[in-house]
């Protein structure tokens, strides 16, 4: 019996490879396990994010978030009653 043709037991886009009386799954990146049903926590262990980014695990992947800090002139803010605008730019990497 070819388990791969009767019903694909591999989840999350994994590829089924038939074997004698059995099968194996080749999992896509981000998944593991016999049937590729286990989400890999890419943030566990070594942080995969560059430039000291914060790693957040996502289903089948991860998200890196890095905030860049700026210094403001506190003296100017203390003596000014005017409003100011802050622009924030997000860049997906």
Q: How many domains does the chain have?
A: 1
pLDDT at 75 over 80: no
Domain containing 56 equals 3-68
**Is residue 40 packed enough to be buried (19+ CB in 10 Å), middle (13-18) or exposed (0-12)?**
middle
Instruction: Please tell me whether the overall predicted TM-score, pTM, comes out greater than 0.75 for this model.
Output: no
Tell me the pLDDT tens digit for each residue of 20-72.
989 999 999 999 999 999 999 999 988 899 888 899 999 999 999 887 666 66
Q: Classify residue 89: in a domain, yes or no.
A: no
pLDDT at 78 over 60: no
Nearest CA to 62 out of 93, 25, 26 is that of 93
Q: Are 38 and 28 in contact (CB under 8 A)?
A: no
Q: Classify residue 58: in a domain, yes or no.
A: yes
């Amino acid at each position: 019996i070819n388990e791969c043709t009767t019903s694909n037991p591999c989840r999350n886009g994994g590829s089924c490879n038939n074997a004698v009386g059995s099968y194996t799954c080749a999992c896509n990146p981000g998944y593991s396990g016999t049937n590729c049903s286990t989400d890999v926590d890419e943030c566990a262990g070594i942080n995969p994010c560059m430039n000291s980014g914060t790693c957040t695990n996502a289903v089948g992947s991860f998200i890196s978030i890095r905030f860049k800090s700026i210094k403001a002139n506190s003296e100017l803010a203390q003596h000014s009653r005017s409003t100011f605008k802050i622009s924030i730019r997000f860049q997906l990497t």
